[in-house]
């Protein structure tokens, strides 16, 4: 059975045992591919890991810091320039992993910005 046959039959709601088996095999293949992709850390993620560890372990504390503050601290620690965009990306990654949390903080003359703290 081809993909086209499968899709035509699904559209027409003409489901057979062959279609069910085809769909189950395709889903299993997709799941295996996605799991393999999820497990393999990208080269960029591996490069960023020391920076995220430094942010969580050394830079952030109880008081929220903005991406600007974190960029300055990373630049000082690693003696290489970090942009605010790079720091923001690292902070978003750490927040997605559940290592830190974001909250809105008021910055004088700038309005509200995201402030990050370590998860207690």
pLDDT in tens, 46-93: 899 999 999 999 999 999 999 999 999 999 999 999 999 999 999 999
Say if residue 61 is in the same domain as residue 99: yes
Confidence of residue 34 (pLDDT cuts 50, 70, 90): confident
Q: Which residue has the tokens 């942010």?
A: 55
**Between 1 and 88, where is the model more confident?**
88
Q: Whole domain around residue 90: which residue ranges?
A: 43-118
Residue 49 and residue 73 share a domain: yes
Return the CATH number at 101: 1.10.10.10
Average pLDDT, the chain: 90
Burial class (CB within 10 angstroms; exposed 0-12, middle 13-18, buried 19+) of 94: buried
20 and 47 share one domain: no
Q: Tell me what the mean pLDDT of segment 8-37 comes to.
A: 82
Least confident piece of the model among 6-10, 24-28, 58-62: 6-10
Record the tokens describing residue 7, joined without a space.
Answer: 């899709």
Helix (H, G, I), strand (E, B) or coil at 107: strand
Cα–Cα distance for residue pair 118/62, rounded to 1 Å: 7
**68 and 31 within one domain:** no
Looking at the structure, do residues 98 and 61 belong to the same domain, yes or no? Answer: yes
Name the percent of the chain lying above pLDDT 70: 100
Please give the Cα distance from 5 to 89 (Å, whole number): 43
The alpha helices in 12-55, defined as continuous H runs, are 17-39, 43-54
Is the pLDDT assigned to residue 11 strictly greater than 90?
no
Q: Which two tokens stand for residue 49?
A: 């890991």
Domain count, the chain: 2
């Amino acid at each position: 059975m081809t993909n086209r046959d499968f899709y035509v039959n699904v559209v027409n709601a003409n489901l057979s045992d062959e279609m069910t088996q085809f769909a189950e095999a395709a889903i299993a293949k997709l799941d295996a591919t996605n799991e393999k992709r999820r497990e393999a850390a990208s080269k960029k993620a591996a490069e960023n890991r020391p920076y995220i560890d430094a942010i969580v372990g050394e830079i952030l504390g109880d008081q929220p810091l903005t991406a600007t503050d974190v960029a300055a601290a990373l630049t000082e620690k690693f003696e290489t320039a970090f942009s605010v965009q790079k720091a923001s990306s690292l902070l978003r990654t750490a927040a997605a992993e559940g290592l830190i949390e974001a909250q809105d903080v008021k910055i004088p003359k700038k309005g509200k910005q995201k402030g990050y703290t370590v998860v207690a």
